[in-house]
Chains A and B, each alone.
Chain A
Amino acid sequence: MSFLNPILLFGTAGIGIPILIHLLNRRRFRKLPWAAMRYLKASVERNQRRMKLQDWILLAIRCLLIVLVAIALARPSMKGVSLPWLGSEVSSIIVLDRSASMAALSGDGSSRFDEAKAAALSAVRSLPAGSAPALMLRPSAADAPAWLNPSGPDDGWERLLENLTVTAGAADLSAAIPRALDSLVSLPGAQKEIVIITDRQQDSWGDSEILLKALQDAGTEVTTHVVLTGEARDAGSLGSQLAVSSVAASQSLPIIGRPLRFDIAITNHGAADATAVPVRLELDGEPVTEQMQIGVVRAGQTVVAQSYITINEARYHHVSAFLPDDSQPADNQRTTVLQVFENVRLLVVDSSVGTNPAETDSFFLRHALATTGSNVSVIEPGALNQRSLDDAVAVFLTNVPEVNDTAAIRDFVRGGGGLVIFPGDKTNADFYNRELAPLLPAKLGEIWAETKTLQTDSYLHPIVTPWSDPGFGSLAKATFQRGFSLTTDGASKHTGKILSFQDGSVALAERTVELGKSFLFASSANKAWNDLPARHDFVPLLSRVVESILHTRDAALHVEAGTPFALSVGEAFAGKPAVIFPLFSADTSNTQGIQTSVASDGTLRFDATLASGAYEATIAAAGERLPFSVQPVAEESRRNELTTGQIDSLRSIANVIEWKPGFDLGEVLASERVGTEFWKLLLACIVALAVAEAFLAQRFSRSK
């Protein structure tokens, strides 16, 4: 027998209160001279013994009440006794870290996640009968505790735990634990505990201050256990640990029949160099090249391997890179999705069509675009509408005063198209600022007239990075005589400056609009205001702008594991059923795919992005396949373990258990639990005694 609030046992001293009242009452007799003592004496003699006995009974009950109240407040409990009706059941939430780092293997070949599952099984099995266990299997702000069968452990959750696999995502314990605590605090049960089973990956703990505060706020109401799986290893003891940190098509237009270059970045997160690293590349699940081999990847370094793939089918394709399994298998593969075109259709809008071709506003532009291999069409502003935008990748406005169908342009860009604006003397700045404001990367201001040149260095934006190499070209040699003052919104994360003039004013700005992108040049696309269109740097600059548009569109098809995939497919498909299949997976258990439906706003959403790899969504009504890829979280590849100091600070608010093979977590948890509490039984006794006291006091005070 032990007491959870032993200090309150001092309350038993309150037993003196009824005794004191009893003694004080004896001094409170009112004196009354009395003549008829013969009647009184006989009555008192007849009743005195009974009254004394009744007094003693009431005094004893009152003393007992005080003692029981004090004991109940001290919360007596007894371990090893399981009486659910007395509150021995435990409300327990097991937060199981399934992040990619949990896949790390230990020396005996078992993973941290294997240990975590064993720990979770042991924890649930150790719960007293009638307990309500809950699991949080995707620790994040969005994960709610899933309560298991409250009537007691059964095979269902054992199978569930045994079949669990590690995900390619990250864990956010700092968001998940407060949520678990909120859920526990709102429960009526007497014993509440949270068992966090994780590895030592520091990133999983997120904002430790929020977490520590949440645990401190929970106080003694919730017992917190942190089970750390995996061995603590210093950096020196780690071997090499390779990860595919990125797979991306290089900056070239993805057109069928052309060799496309893919850059595969391999990072060594280990402490030892890796040599002769084989890299395997697959296109749509099929090997496409001979296996590459990287000579050496030094510890902490990233090596980019390049491979060329020629794709002959115009559609979306998955390209995957694979490394051999190592101690951290979750990051040994990565898949990218890209759309390959038969030709890239670009639409140039020119209001000067019909004049001498060489004097049109788009003369230099369309020739520059044509050299990229794109299919360039030139139309007048009046012909720009929804139909003309079909199949176009980007639309270029060259000195166009106004456009009629601004709604069509907005929908086009939002759906993944590109808008590139070259202003000129006919451009109605007010119209652009007003009607195309949601698309413009910058506000068009006054026209300036002075000689300007572009920046000579600091080409940080990916589009202009190649000009950092003087051998690639020199944008600074172009001269500008006129242009619009451009004002970007510095606070917006969707807008950015790509190029500046040497005076710091904006020369080229971009804006991401949902799946699409818009670009705004400060000057014209012909030689009227500058000589850039006549320079050879103009062609690669335009090419990279178009590639950026395509990459932005493809980027929406890539999500990190654990992040919901959401793609706008149009309100026309709202409510339509959809099926999502993992592609090229060795796991054939899910041949039916994951059934879902398009949301009312036309968004196709898929939350269970747990495993990395290639996926395909099919909307039955559309008959269209939408590919996407789930990529492992890069932070999970890094070995960034909790420091000894951090573990010690964790110990100050939680019971930290460092898992070792053969460890019986259930036994440890059971020893930490209070067992059966008896306050309910005592409360029942107190109520019964109080009722008895009231009844007897009333009955005893009746005239006899």
Chain B
Amino acid sequence: MDPETLQLLDPKALSKAESLGMNARFIVEGYMAGEHRSPFHGFAIEFAQHREYAPGDDVRHLDWKVLGRTERHYIKQYEQETNFIAHLIVDRSESMSFSSGEITKWHYAKMMAACLAYVILSRRDAVALGLCDESLSDSLPRSGSQTQLFKILSHLAAAEPGGGTKLGAALDDVARQLKRKGIVIIISDFLEENDDALLRGLQHLRFQGHEIVAFQLLDRLEIEFDTGGLVEFVGMENLPNLKTRPAEIRKSYLEEFERHTRWLKQTFTKHRCHFRQINTSAQIGEVLGEYLAFRKSHG
């Protein structure tokens, strides 16, 4: 990312919603050039494609003809045009404020959310926003109006990270509040201590028929853990400090990190959710462009 762009992503500039919106627009129109039909498919009238049946799918959408000919369970998907709802769930816990460089995970998450909102609203679909920490602490009702983007941006700009992470509980809250099926896009570092709670929240959402897309934002240092010397790690979210020589435990740390990442990938895959781990040093435009292209090609 060039310095000029980094300047645009400066926290002070982002403090204003307009600035956030401008950046989102800049990213979407700059990096993601070309037409972007919404890859978030809902249940509309116009047939789009088949996809393999997964537990929890509505059996009403099974393609009986295909089943009769091939004995395979396929569901007919339809291109949604007007009634698609995207729920942006952004983690605002204190852990999101971590950064080893210029950009915190929180800033990155806000930018991602702004970009996604811009993309979705540009297709006249509806977007809702939820900010969560230990619960769903703030939310903005869905809307497909043109003013919704500014509301989302204002909400994001006004929010500050803080509090603990109980993403599982927050997803439970989201599941309880959503009345209509849609796509739930979770932007979080997923540093949830309680994996079972996360799993329950995820299952709750899936049970209600929501499609789930998860973006795990992690700082480069959290991924590579290549710091040295004698370090006292000050625990965020009121976790106790730890003194150690990180170079001597790096291998163990990376194993732990890989184990958790593997669990997240397996869990989300098992529940037919999309999971992307994102290094916050990567350019948002490229990350989103790559994901949207993937989604478009794979349904």
Contact = CB atoms under 8 A, between A and B. Distances in A.
> Is chain B found bound to chain A in the same assembly?
yes
Interface of A: 25, 28-44, 46-48, 51, 700-704
B254 to A, nearest CB: 8
Contacts of B105: 35
Contacts of B248: 47, 51, 700-704
B191 A35 contact: yes
Contact of A51 (B231, B235, B236, B245): B245
Interface of B: 94-98, 105, 189, 191, 193, 218-219, 222, 225, 227, 229-237, 239, 242-245, 247-253, 255-257, 260
Contacts of A30: 229-232
Contact of B251 (A25, A33, A36, A703): A703
21 contacts: A29-B230, A29-B232, A30-B232, A32-B227, A33-B234, A33-B236, A35-B105, A35-B189, A35-B222, A36-B98, A39-B222, A42-B252, A42-B256, A43-B244, A43-B249, A43-B255, A43-B256, A47-B244, A51-B245, A703-B247, A703-B248
Given A35-B189, A38-B260, A46 B236 contact: no
Contact of B230 (A25, A33, A44, A47): A25
Closest 5 CB pairs of A and B: A35-B95, A35-B98, A34-B233, A43-B252, A29-B232
B61 to A, nearest CB: 39
Contacts of A51: 244-245, 248-249
A10 B234 CA distance: 43
Contacts of A43: 244, 249, 252-253, 255-256
A568 to B, nearest CB: 85
A58 to B, nearest CB: 12
A434 B225 CA distance: 102
Given A25-B230, A28-B230, A704-B251, A38 B236 contact: no
B247 A44 contact: no
Nearest to B104: A35
Given A29-B231, A39-B257, A701-B248, A44 B191 contact: no
A66 to B, nearest CB: 23
Contacts of A39: 222, 225, 253, 256-257, 260
Contacts of A42: 252, 256
A639 B218 CA distance: 104
Chain B contact residues, majority secondary structure? mixed
A703 B191 CA distance: 23
A468 to B, nearest CB: 103
Contact of B234 (A32, A44, A702): A32
A674 B44 CA distance: 104
Best-buried of A35, A42, A704 by chain B (most CB within 10 Å) = A35
A702 B253 CA distance: 13
A47 B231 contact: no
A35 B257 CA distance: 13
Given A28-B230, A29-B232, 7 more contacts: A35-B191, A35-B237, A36-B189, A36-B218, A38-B191, A46-B249, A703-B251
A704 B233 contact: no
A35 B236 contact: yes
A55 to B, nearest CB: 9
A51 B249 CA distance: 9
A36 B230 contact: no
Given A29-B231, A34-B236, A704-B249, A41 B242 contact: yes
A504 to B, nearest CB: 98
A701 B257 contact: no
Contact of B244 (A36, A38, A44): A44
B233 A703 contact: no
B193 A38 contact: yes
Contact of A47 (B218, B227, B229, B249): B249
Contact of A37 (B230, B235, B251): B235
Contact of A36 (B227, B247, B257): B257
A43 B189 CA distance: 19
A33 B98 contact: yes
Contacts of A29: 230-232, 243
A32 B241 CA distance: 9
Contacts of A31: 231-232, 234
A35 B95 CA distance: 5
A36 B251 CA distance: 15
A28 B94 CA distance: 26
Contacts of B252: 42-43, 46-47, 704
Contacts of B227: 32
Nearest to A28: B230
Contacts of A700: 248
Contact of B253 (A33, A40, A48): A40
A34 B253 contact: no
A88 to B, nearest CB: 46
Nearest to B255: A43
A44 B98 contact: no
Contacts of B231: 29-32
A46 B94 CA distance: 26
A424 B186 CA distance: 141
Nearest to A51: B248
A688 to B, nearest CB: 25
Nearest to B234: A33
Contacts of A48: 244
A704 B189 CA distance: 25
Contacts of B249: 40, 43-44, 46-47, 51, 703-704
A40 B255 CA distance: 11
A34 B244 contact: no
Contacts of B94: 35
A51 B97 CA distance: 30
Contacts of A703: 247-251
Given A30-B229, A32-B234, A40-B242, A701 B253 contact: no
A35 B99 CA distance: 9
B260 A37 contact: no
A40 B243 CA distance: 10
Contacts of A36: 95, 98, 189, 191, 218, 222, 257
A102 to B, nearest CB: 76
A35 to B, nearest CB: 4
Contacts of A32: 227, 231-234
Contacts of A37: 191, 233, 235-237, 239, 242
Nearest to A31: B232
A34 B98 contact: yes
A29 B230 CA distance: 5
B264 to A, nearest CB: 12
Contacts of B95: 35-36
Nearest to B246: A40
Given A28-B230, A40-B253, A43-B256, A701 B235 contact: no
A667 B66 CA distance: 114
B286 to A, nearest CB: 24
Nearest to B232: A29
B132 to A, nearest CB: 16
Q: Which of B193, B229, B239, B248 has the most CB of A within 10 A?
A: B248
A47 B191 CA distance: 21
Contacts of B251: 703-704
B134 to A, nearest CB: 15
Contacts of B260: 38-39
A700 B232 CA distance: 19
A38 B248 CA distance: 17
Nearest to B98: A35
A39 B193 CA distance: 10
- Which residue among B97, B218, B242 has the maximum number of chain A CB atoms within 10 Å of its CB? B242
Contact of A34 (B230, B234, B257): B234
A34 B232 CA distance: 9
A38 B247 CA distance: 17
Contacts of B98: 33-36
A666 B260 CA distance: 80
A44 B229 contact: no
Nearest to A27: B230
A32 B243 CA distance: 10
B42 to A, nearest CB: 35
